[in-house]
Amino acid sequence: MCFELARLIGNRLGPHLRVIDEVHGFKSFDERDLLGFVDGTENPEGVEATEAVLIEDDEDPAFAGGSYLIVQKYSHDLDAWNALTVEQQEAAFGRTKLEDVEFADEDKAPDSHLTLNVIEDEDGEELQIMRFNMPFGRVGAGEFGTFYIAYARTPAVTEEMLENMFLGKSGAAHDRILDFSTAHTGSLFFVPSLDFLDDPSVGASAEDGAAPEPPAPADGSLGIGDLRS
């Protein structure tokens, strides 16, 4: 379905479309990435998922029901990664590889992926996002990677995660995973609701009936992408 959608969009846009990068992902064993760990373990479910991903009426009425999407392309140095022991790999992630069990907080390394990606609000409540990562690769070309795909009701949460990963926090210079994974692209998008697509004026004020302006670019620490994309 994704391939067919891309083909139809390409046909519709014709000469106005220029493809910069094309990557075909796939699902790996047990929902694992190419580093061998289960991906999306912490994804919220049910009501918690809705609260984590969708913009609420009282936050931004004009864009309620929409979401913010960050997409990044990472390549992995699998030779270097697989040269580590399983224990070293687990320390880098902050959870066991086979059983997918998270370490206790006191047992996590300061630069572990989980340590740097847990974001809390002022009340100590964890702020969630929804990940739909996809592994990709070309064996003949020695290309192995992960397409990071994350939805959130505000880009600020994902921005803080990325800041912690790349700039470090609390004694960690950066995320240990980045010693083996390289980010090549990064884009931030606003994903409108179906109601918004059907009628952009649905979120406009009752006074003027005008369609709302596109969201302003994110003020996040890394300034990834442009919400007008």
Q: How many CB atoms lie within 10 A of CB 91?
A: 19
Which whole-number Å values give the CA distances from 181 to 2, 45, 93, 184, 228, in the listed order?
26, 28, 13, 10, 28
Among this protein's residues, is 111 annotated catalytic? Answer: no
- The span from the CA of 37 to the CA of 135, in Å, is 11
Q: Where are the alpha helices (DSSP H) in the chain?
A: 2-13, 46-53, 78-82, 86-93, 113-117, 155-167, 194-198
> Is there a contact between 199 and 88 (Cβ–Cβ < 8 Å)?
no
Which one, of 173, 138, 112, 179, lies nearest residue 25 by Cα?
A: 138
- HSE-up of residue 145 (Cα within 13 Å, Cβ side): 19
Q: How many residues does the chain have?
A: 229
- The span from the CA of 62 to the CA of 45, in Å, is 25
Catalytic residue among 21, 30, 33, 39: 39
Which whole-number Å values give the CA distances from 6 to 13, 122, 166, in the listed order?
11, 42, 32
Phi first, then psi, for residue 112 (nearest 5°) are -70, 155
Q: Which residues are catalytic?
A: 39
